[in-house]
Amino acid sequence: MRFAAVAGRAVLVDGDRALDVQDGSGGRFPADPMAVLGQWEALRDWAVGREIGAAEQSFAVDPARLTAPVPRPRQVFAVALNYPPHAAEAGFTPPSDPLVFTKFPTCIAGPVTTIELPPGKVDWEAELVAVIGAPAHRVPVDRAWQVVAGLTVGQDISERVVQSRGAPAQFGLGKSFPGFGPTGPVLVTADEFADPDDLEITGLLNGEVVQHDRTSSMIFSVPELIARISAIVPLLPGDLIFTGTPAGVGNRRNPPRYLRPGDELVSRIETIGELRQHFSQSTPSTPETQEVRIP
Ligand code: ZN
């Protein structure tokens, strides 16, 4: 099953067609993707065997109208140094425990966006994102896939000056500027993959491949991460786990390369699809006049 949001409304996707979840179910399910994620098992049962693309109410998907499949997650976890080559390029030995930090949820955005660059050094991190589909506390590794609603693509956009400020540095703020968490284009259930633990992941900057790996390279797999995080924190439907980025981020290039106005960043995972971000100049403003967009 492929789940997405069009202009904020939950849809099921079949090829290039979409069916509005609320309209298509005759009102049985709500329009808000967050509310639908709270009834994930019921939605899956309802969708089994249903011809989504052939449904009379289905419509053509316009990629530009897709919004974040999970627009208001209550918790957003992210994992540092989860691919050995990225740990090496960052100058660390692979960690023995997951290095977990948070992206604050207001940074979450849809798959096709323009991001205003704040001052500093803004970098890219293409990542697989696991979306939680059921309340989950102390989940063992062998049951972890059962609490996953599906997988999507994420960009852990990071401003490196704020990220590395202080000793020890705290990652959260530098990774949470508005728009710094693009996600989508769809959320895909695990049964749609030949092997959900082994997916090709690619990051392209202005058409050049800058990141390329397979998620099977991750030090801590999706089930491992869920087991270790849920051992401490109860997970909630719609929570996101950004699972770490492969090698090839901008600040480890020689010379370093950061995002500039006019750049195009594409983040792609096989079977799921791709994100497309453009970047614009920052507009200076005081905190008083700063407009805050609530997703
Ligand atoms: Zn990251």
CATH no. for residue 87?
3.90.850.10
Q: Are residues 167 and 264 in the same domain?
A: yes
pLDDT given at position 287: 60
pLDDT tier, 283 (very low <50, low <70, confident <90, very high otherwise): confident
pLDDT of 293 above 80: no
Token pair, residue 108, equals: 């979450």
Report yes or no on 258 lying in a domain. Answer: yes
Report yes or no on 294 lying in a domain. Answer: no
pLDDT given at position 87: 85
What are 226-275's pLDDT values in tens digits? 999 999 999 999 999 999 999 999 999 999 999 999 999 999 999 999 99
Distance between Cα 148 and ligand 1 center (Å): 20
Token pair, residue 97, equals: 């425990």
Q: What is the average per-residue pLDDT within 167-173?
A: 92
pLDDT of 12 above 90: yes
User: What rounded mean pLDDT belongs to the chain?
Assistant: 95
Q: Are residues 255 and 206 in the same domain?
A: yes
pLDDT given at position 286: 62
pLDDT given at position 282: 81
Distance between Cα 56 and ligand 1 center (Å): 41
pLDDT of 295 above 60: no
Distance between Cα 82 and ligand 1 center (Å): 9
Report yes or no on 210 lying in a domain. Answer: yes
Q: Last residue of some domain: 37, 66, 95? A: 66
Distance between Cα 37 and ligand 1 center (Å): 24
pLDDT of 181 above 60: yes
Enumerate the β-bridge partners of residue 180: none
Beta-carbon contacts of 106 under 8 Å, excluding residues fewer than 6 positions away, are: 176, 178, 292, 294, 295
Q: Are residues 107 and 237 in the same domain?
A: yes
| % of the chain surpassing 70 pLDDT | 96
Whole-model pTM? Answer: 0.95
Q: How far apart are the first and last CA of the chain?
A: 25
pLDDT tier, 86 (very low <50, low <70, confident <90, very high otherwise): confident
Q: Are residues 48 and 187 in the same domain?
A: no
Report yes or no on 292 lying in a domain. Answer: no
- Phi and psi for 164 in degrees, rounded to 5? -100, 5
Residues 267 and 259 sit within 8 Å (Cβ to Cβ): no
| % of the chain surpassing 90 pLDDT | 89
Distance between Cα 36 and ligand 1 center (Å): 27
Cα–Cα distance list, 57 to 1, 20, 39, 186 (Å):
18, 8, 22, 19
Q: Are residues 62 and 87 in the same domain?
A: no
What are the helix and strand counts (H, E) for the chain?
Answer: 6, 19
Q: Are residues 144 and 199 in the same domain?
A: yes
**Range in 39-48, 79-88, 197-206, 252-261 the model is least confident about:** 79-88
Three-state DSSP class for residue 17? strand
Cis peptide before 168 (omega within 30 of 0): yes
Beta-carbon contacts of 255 under 8 Å, excluding residues fewer than 6 positions away, are: none
Angle at 42 between CA 39 and CA 48, to 5 degrees: 135
Q: Are residues 56 and 118 in the same domain?
A: no
pLDDT given at position 89: 87
Q: Are residues 152 and 246 in the same domain?
A: yes
Per the document, the length of the chain is: 295
Report yes or no on 290 lying in a domain. Answer: no
Q: Are residues 181 and 49 in the same domain?
A: no
Report yes or no on 293 lying in a domain. Answer: no
Distance between Cα 245 and ligand 1 center (Å): 5
Q: Are residues 184 and 118 in the same domain?
A: yes
Query: Quick one: DSSP state of residue 252?
Result: G
Range of the domain at 277: 76-281
Report yes or no on 6 lying in a domain. Answer: yes
Distance between Cα 293 and ligand 1 center (Å): 23
pLDDT given at position 258: 98
pLDDT of 155 above 90: yes
What are 218-234's pLDDT values in tens digits? 999 999 999 999 999 99
Report yes or no on 291 lying in a domain. Answer: no
pLDDT given at position 14: 96
pLDDT tier, 290 (very low <50, low <70, confident <90, very high otherwise): low
Beta-carbon contacts of 163 under 8 Å, excluding residues fewer than 6 positions away, are: 169, 171, 173, 174, 175
Q: Last residue of some domain: 22, 41, 66? A: 66
Q: Are residues 9 and 133 in the same domain?
A: no
Q: Last residue of some domain: 39, 66, 93? A: 66
Token pair, residue 45, equals: 């049962």
Q: Are residues 145 and 253 in the same domain?
A: yes
Distance between Cα 78 and ligand 1 center (Å): 6
What are 47-80's pLDDT values in tens digits? 998 999 999 999 999 999 999 999 999 999 999 9
Total structural domains within the chain: 2
pLDDT given at position 292: 61
Which residue would you say has higher pLDDT here, 82 or 292?
A: 82
